[in-house]
Amino acid sequence: MAAIDGLPPLREVIATHDLVAKKSLGQNFLLDLNLTAKIARAAGDLSGFDVLEVGPGPGGLTRGLLAEGARKVLAVEKDSRCLPALAEIAAHYPGRLAVIQGDALAVDVAAHLSPPYKIAANLPYNVGTELLVRWLTPPAWPPAWESLTLMFQKEVAQRITAKVGDTHYGRLAILAQWRTEARIVMSLPPEAFQPAPKVHSAVVHLKALPAPRYEADAKTLERVVAAGFNQRRKMLRSSLKGLHPEIEALLEAAGIAPTERAERVSLEQFCTLARLLVRA
Where on the chain is the footprint of ligand SAM (CB under 6 A)? 25-30, 54-57, 60-61, 76-79, 82, 103-105, 122, 124, 127
Element (H, E) at 2: none
CB-nearer residue toward ligand SAM: 74 or 271: 74
**Which residues on adjacent β-strands are paired with residue 203?**
151, 186
30 labelled ligand-binding: yes
What are the two backbone dihedrals, phi and then psi, of residue 120, each rounded to the nearest 5 degrees?
-140, 135
Determine whether the annotation assigns residue 77 to a binding site. yes
Q: Integer distance in angstroms from the first to the last C-alpha of the chain?
A: 65
Cα 68 to Cα 90: distance, rounded to the nearest angstrom: 15
Judged by CB, which is closer to ligand SAM: 188, or 216? 188
| Dist CA 106 CA 83 (whole Å) | 18
Q: Determine if residue 126 is labeled as part of a ligand binding site.
A: no
- Measured between alpha carbons, how far is residue 277 from residues 17, 176, 247 in Å? 57, 22, 9
Please identify, using beta-carbon distances, which residue of 17 and 237 lies nearer to ligand SAM.
17
- Residue 26 or 143 with smaller CB distance to ligand SAM: 26
Closest CA to 51 of 147, 160, 185: 147
Q: Residue 270 CB, nearest distance to ligand SAM (Å)?
A: 31
The residue among 195 and 245 lying less far from ligand SAM, judged by its C-beta, is: 195
**CB of 71 vs ligand SAM, minimal distance in Å:** 19
**Closer to ligand SAM by Cβ: residue 54 or 132:** 54
Please state, in angstroms and as integers, the Cα–Cα distance from residue 142 to each residue in 126, 183, 208, 252, following that order.
Answer: 27, 19, 7, 32
In the bound complex, which residue of the shown chain has the CB atom lying closest to ligand SAM?
Answer: 55
Residues 6+ apart with CB under 8 A from 86: 56, 59, 62, 75, 77, 97, 99
Taking the complex as a whole, the smallest distance from the CB of residue 261 to ligand SAM amounts, in Å, to: 35
Do the beta carbons of residue 52 and residue 145 sit within 8 Å? yes
28 labeled part of a ligand binding site: yes
Distance CA 264, CA 250 (A): 17
- Closest approach, Cβ 27 to ligand SAM, in A, equals 5
The minimum distance between CB 43 and ligand SAM, in angstroms, equals 14
Task: Residue 5: name the closest of 72, 65, 95, 81 by CA.
Answer: 65
Q: How far is the CB of 222 from ligand SAM (least distance, A)?
A: 24
Based on CB atoms, which residue is closest to ligand SAM, 203 or 221?
203
Residues 158 and 168: their CA atoms lie apart, in Å, by 6
Least spacing, CB of residue 258 vs ligand SAM, in Å: 43
Q: Which residues are annotated as a binding site for S-adenosyl-L-methionine?
A: 28, 30, 55, 77, 103, 122
Known binding-site residues equal 28, 30, 55, 77, 103, 122
